[in-house]
Amino acid sequence: MRGRTAWAAAGGAAALVLVTATGAHAEGRGDVRVVKTVVNGGGNVIVGTAKTIRYPVDITVKDNSGVKGLLHVSTFNKTLLFSFADWNNDSRCTKKSATTSVCRATMTIDPAWIADSDDIDSNKLAGVWQVNANVEANDGDYWISDDIADYKVKRAARLTTVIAPEKVAKNAKVTVTGKLSRANWEDLKYHGYPGQQVRLQFKKKGAAHYSTVKTVTTGNIGQLTTKVTVTSAGTWRWYFPGTTTTSLKTAGGDTLDLK
């Protein structure tokens, strides 16, 4: 079984997550409850191949005696029940009223841990994740709360734009190329992402916004190529809206001038 020992040494969270997920329940003692949970400010968690990612899980807890804090927090892929996110048992609760506090747990993902965190292709863990938390009140009440929030953990994308030539006469045709790739969590490299719809966008010189000119499908190694007729100077770029498993990405623009 690949990686269980290595993951335990790195963070120790995977086994706890699996136990929590397998024995799913929502129970405890008393009236303490989770009333709201927001992960990463409501945004997706984007994980690449090198940078360690830390993101907050803000859990609003309510009890008539007041809130003592978080006993445990875990998060994992909702379908496969594996995780490579680690909670370091640190949290900070901010009192909002006599009965309600917002407690923040910080999750950590180090890409170097990912391949050793499970016994499958780790890339399959991209997608919808859930949060579980055990909370405690000042009077000793506690509650084991499962699936208190869903969010997406996505593979980071890269996207490039190149236009040639960069200076042409009006109504000339030019070629716009690029490449879409995404993080592979097994080998910690970026690989081309084939078969994806990517939008070619143009912003006329002096304009404030881009508009979509056409949509192009990436080739077998993520390559993009198309020809366009140029009627004015401006900047061209590729835009990928993302998927359930891969992040949105906007390429840097390439500027074209008229002769």
In this predicted structure, the answer to whether residue 21 has a pLDDT above a threshold of 50 is no
pLDDT tens digits, one per residue of 41-67: 999 999 999 999 999 999 999 999 999
Say which residue the tokens 């498993």 belong to. Answer: 245
| Residue 12 confidence (pLDDT) above 50 | no
Average pLDDT for residues 120-125, to the nearest whole number? 96
Catalogue the E-assigned strands of 78-206. Answer: 86-95, 100-109, 127-137, 142-155, 157-164, 167-168, 173-184, 189-192, 197-204
**Percentage of the chain with pLDDT > 90?**
85
Question: What domains appear along the chain, each with residue ranges and CATH number?
Answer: 4-155 (2.60.40.10), 157-258 (2.60.40.10)
Averaged pLDDT of the chain: 90
